[in-house]
Amino acid sequence: MQPIYLDNNATTKVAPEVLEEMLPVLGEFYGNPSSMHSFGGSVGALVKKARERTAQALGCRPEEIIFTSCGSEGDNTAILSALRANPEKRHMVTTRVEHPAVLSLAKHLETRGIAVTYLGVDASGRLDLDELRASLRKDTAVVSVMYANNETGVVFPIPEIAAMVRERGIAFHTDAVQAVGKIPISLKDMPVDYLVLSGHKLHAPKGVGALYVRRGTPFRPFLIGGHQERGRRAGTENTPGIVALGKAMELAVAGIGDENTRVKALRDRLETGLVAAIPDAIVNGDPASRLPNTTSIAFKYVEGEAILLLLDTFGICASSGSACTSGSLEPSHVLRAMGVPFTFAHGSIRFSLSRYTTDAEIDTVLREMPGVIKRLRKMSPFSAATDEKPSCTC
């Protein structure tokens, strides 16, 4: 059975074009890009090309790109750099709906004496920019706000937020892991100091990412050692991954139109069809500002894990939330922050499409999903016993 893969916010298939460029670097071109000889230099040229492709896709300079191992490394590096560059400042601002790569770091920093302000969101997952403005202090070292939420797909107004933070002379970091390749992003005129992306979210392999650091932004390395990445990230480069990321970025730019037309139309058809066919189903998140590939739908009185298990029997792959927290039985921290009632939050499923998603795959989900929910509700002790009021904020 071929899987119907609708879990692309967790990870993506490596694009054939990416694999084609990557394979020779795993075999023939195995030299160290830092070596003085021409064999290593040929690999160094491939790394340079990948850096240029990544920079072009983001609208920045190649020297502003640091290759990393993943999004979490980039997020940790950026936030810790901002704090270390401003040791007299002991406050940071972030949101309650960040990925654990930021949220867990913030909680760790609190144990080290850093004061952290966590911004809330409304029922649609939107930030209150007045609350953000009021949270900024003289001792704020960094503000970290994700570009788009990994569970609901809600896109935050990063250009506006970055400008607000810049006016106060505070460093601004955004985790753009879910946004890059799905919506247009240009750093040319956006006052972002640090931006993070991850290769495996945009059809490159796992184990490679990039951190953008605006020229002139004070920077303190996270990994100390060799001189790689101009002394900003020690460790021999993951050259196959870097070459793959460069190609994936090029493809992402070329496919941004398809992502926001055909893929978005597939997402909308899936979402509209499920909500129409299944009673007590609601869409989580702001419908006016979301990633084109993502929908989070809550089904009342059923457990998300049970839905996923039954969907798996049809070869359908989705998620009950972030793959990084799906092992927990607790409702998603994102949905809790939005005030989604428990009876809905527990039954929330994230479908995340990609350029490889087809009409036939969406047809299959629309055909099988109503039966899955109906079957589970028959077994639910709550489905006919109570009727939770939608005003509950859990």
Instruction: Check if 324 is active-site.
Output: yes
Choose the catalytic residue: 60, 317, 324, 394: 324
The angle that helices 71-85 and 100-110 make with each other, rounded to 10 degrees, is: 40
Amino acid at 202: L
Please give the helix or strand (H or E) that residue 106 lies within, else none: helix 100-110
Residues ≥6 apart with Cβ < 8 Å to 175:
71, 74, 75, 98, 99, 101, 102, 144, 146, 147, 196
Q: How many other C-beta atoms can be found within 10 angstroms of the C-beta atom of residue 317?
A: 16
Token pair belonging to 216: 């002139």
Q: Which residue do the tokens 């990544």 mark?
A: 54
Beta strand ranges found along the chain (DSSP E): 4-5, 65-68, 91-95, 115-119, 140-144, 171-175, 194-198, 209-213, 281-284, 294-299, 316-317, 348-352
Q: How far apart are CA 102 and CA 145, in angstroms?
A: 9
* Beta carbons within 8 Å of 40's beta carbon, 6+ residues apart: 31, 32, 33, 34
Q: State the Cα–Cα distance between residues 265 and 113, nearest whole angstrom.
A: 47
Q: Which are the catalytic amino acids?
A: 324
